[in-house]
Structure 1
Amino acid sequence: MGNSLSNDKFVVKGRTVAITGGSRGMGLAAGHQLAAKGANIIIIARDREKLAQGVEHIRQGALDPSTQRFHHISADLTSSSECVRVIDEIVSWNLGNPPDVVWCCAGSPHPTLFIDTPVSELEAVMNSNYFTSLYMAHAILSHWLRTSREHTTQPSRTPSSTNTSTISAPPRHLIFTASFLAFYTFTGYSPYSPAKAALRSLSDSLSQEMNLYAAAHPNEPPIRIHTIFPAGILTESYEAENLYKSDVTKMLEGADEAQTPEAVAAKSIRALESGQELITTDILTSLVKRSMLGGSVRGGFARALGDWVLACVVTLAMVFVRHDMDRKVRDWGRKFGASGMNREDKQA
């Protein structure tokens, strides 16, 4: 009864949530906060020791540790077969049921200048930040949609599908984690930004495709596709990337403050609960998003209208932002050369 009267579009109490990259950073923070709301949590990553520590941290924050269940799986998600294995293991552990929510947090940035980045590293960045999510999405959607795919020639037309008094099953959720850089990129992020932009495009495509299955099989749980667009997150990898990030990139980023993983997770979860699909966690990204949406607009007429009004304003501002950043990069090149590094500071 409580859930039926609630405006919460992301109810997780008693449901099972799988989080890739869940042993640290945003993934771990999301697992901890969702456990506090009553979810059963599975975290997936490579490092077994960090996974064990992560599960214990999540368990300690659980709403009811005596009834909630927790599990961890070590896997290399850059392999499509491993992603299939992970889903199969979750189904087996979860008494034959697939997870209700899959949140893809795996991945890390590599901010370097394009020609200074080995091709092998470019491939690794794309694998880590795009293909891990794509493979996991393919594995879980293939499982969630197995019934509807087995009956593609005959849409579901049972009496309950036309009975408006029937309470529909709660939706399943597939959540991607992209970046501010999916909307606007700049010097130093050419190895990384394309992977996050690809996630945004994948999210848009899948969001529309899920309408096909929902319409053809109204008795099955609907599937919602969401994408989070955080800016900087204060994690171990954030500290590490600043050791090799070019000085020109640091200059362009300016004094923008990164957010803690806990803050990003909390803002993301609140947005999920309100029903948002394209989610930002800070004001700047929220504004830039409006200027770059194009066909990505989702959320109904009222939200689209609000986005359009803001887009008209922000698009004009972005012209000046791009002009200013281009000027700064040219000035940097004339002063310090093409390495992207401030040699004067290094010699001082």
Structure 2
Amino acid sequence: MGSFLSKNEFPVDGRTVLITGGSTGLGLNAGRQLAEKGANVIIVARKLGSLEEGVRYISRGARSPETQRFHYIVADVTTATECARVVSEVISWNNGAAPDIVWCCSGSAHPTLYIDTPVEQFQTMMDSNYFSCVYMAHAILNVWLRSAADAKAAIKETSDQPKKAKPTSLPARHLIFTGSFVSFYSFAGFTPYSPSKAAVRALSDSLSQEMNLYAAAHPDLPRVRLHTVFPATMPTQSLEDENRVKTDLTKSLEEGDQILKPEECARRAIAGLESGEELVPTSTIIWAVMTSVMGGSVRGGFWKGLAGTLAGWITSIVMIFVRWEMDTKVRKWGAVHGSSGMLKKE
């Protein structure tokens, strides 16, 4: 799985995709590109106007506009009750069927120095980036796994001759989280934000293993696959908002960061999903750093795993010097400009 000879591991034609944070950036462009591949798309966000505009944009890319369907839901997915409501509304809209794919793209960043960060922002970061994934995952997995298993058990109890379950040939369902470069390596100014994204990566790794339990226990149900996409920096309104609160020090540490347009980032993410990757980096820099901290994560098949391991050995050595260089830059900054993180004004 995951080699260049593999089949498409992420078919979407005729399937229903739910995207949180789908009115802007990565979510919006992923929705458009999945529509171009034949998917029915529902997007979720807080602002009605952005959702209406987003659905118009996504629907214009429909491969089969006469059959594909599009919908939006206004919701705040940082609460468990709202995530449960979203899933319920999607099932109702989708004629009683659960979505086949759920992609959690919602999130926000407040990149400031730690002691200068308003204390409420720490909870906001966890709610926006981590708990939005936790609650949506809990809502959809209970539908995909518990509800389906309960229904199957009820049928079995009323049957005179229970039959042995056979492995299903149905396409897998996919639950996709969205991480960040700082899921793997953080630096000064991202301390309020990076723990929430590191937690997303840990959630994905552990849930991925749990899904083997259900796949083995219920082979006649569609398999559930877990993924986390790690988008590169994108020139969006969110980035502009972040830059307004970032210190000059943090901006200097980001120099050399690979920047991708949202449509290119979405294209690379979808290509990684189609090749069967569980952790999907969208830039060379993210891939290189990721290989040095893979731990027990799924490696994507033998050849990708081997290449990642070899790259990880090299990157682990390189990162020693990267950390040394960044520590040196921070110390020099403090000595010259003080502890505010801002350049001294002449």
TM-score w.r.t. structure 2 length? Answer: 0.93
Specify whether residues 303 and 255 from structure 1 end up closer, same or farther in structure 2 by C-alpha distance, changes over 3 A only.
Answer: closer
Deviations 1:85-144 (A, max 9, x none): 000000000000000000000002111001100111111111111111111011000110
Q: How do 1:225-236 and structure 2 match up within 5 A?
A: 225-236=226-237
Asked whether the 8 Å contact 2:184–2:293 carries over to 1, the reply is yes
What is the 5 A alignment of 1:224-263? 224-263=225-264
Instruction: Specify the SS of the correspondent of 2:166.
Output: helix
C-alpha distance in 2 between matches for 1:261 and 1:81: 30
Establish whether residue 161 from structure 1 lines up as the match of residue 157 from structure 2: no
SS of the aligned residue for 1:292 comes to: coil
What's the counterpart of residue 341 of structure 1? 342
Asked whether the equivalents of residues 98 and 143 of structure 2 are also in contact (C-alpha less than 8 Å), the reply is yes
Task: Please report how far the alpha carbon of residue 301 of structure 1 lies from its aligned counterpart in structure 2 after TM superposition.
Answer: 3.2
Structure 1 match to 2:141? 141
- CA distance in 2 between partners of 1:339 and 1:212 (Å): 50
In structure 2, the gaps of 5 or more residues are 157-161
CA distance in 2, matches of 1:74, 1:103: 16
Quote the Cα distance in structure 1 between the aligned partners of 2:109 and 2:262. 15
Question: How far did residue 255 of structure 1 move?
Answer: 3.4
Is contact 2:149–2:218 with CA below 8 Å preserved after alignment? no
**Where does residue 283 of structure 2 map in the other structure?**
282
Percentage identity across aligned positions?
Answer: 54
Instruction: Map 1:209-224 onto structure 2 (within 5 A).
Output: 209-224=210-225
Alpha-carbon distance, 1:152 to partner: 11
Output the CA distance in 2 between the equivalents of 1:150 and 1:56. 38
CA 1:297–1:159 in 2, change beyond 3 Å: closer, same or farther? closer
Tell me the SS of whatever aligns to 1:295: coil
Instruction: Check whether the contact 1:169–1:221 (CA below 8 A) recurs between aligned residues.
Output: yes
Query: Does the aligned pair in 2 maintain the 1:148–1:217 contact within 8 Å?
Result: no
Shift of 1:57: 0.5
SS in 2 for 1:311: helix
Residue 177 of structure 1: how far off its partner (Å): 0.4
The answer on 1:115 being equivalent to 2:94 is: no
Aligned equivalents of 1:81, 1:207: Cα separation in 2? 24
Contact 1:148 1:213 in 2 (8 A): no
Aligned residues: 336
> Which residue is equivalent to 2:80?
80
* Paired residues of 1:17 and 1:40 also in contact (CA < 8 A): yes
Q: Which residue of structure 2 aligns with residue 125 of structure 1? A: 125
Structure 1 residue 161, shift from structure 2 partner: 1.2
Change (3 A) 1:47 1:323: same
Partner of 1:303: 304
In 2: Cα distance, 1:149 partner to 1:119 partner: 43
- Structure 1's unaligned 5+ residue stretches are none
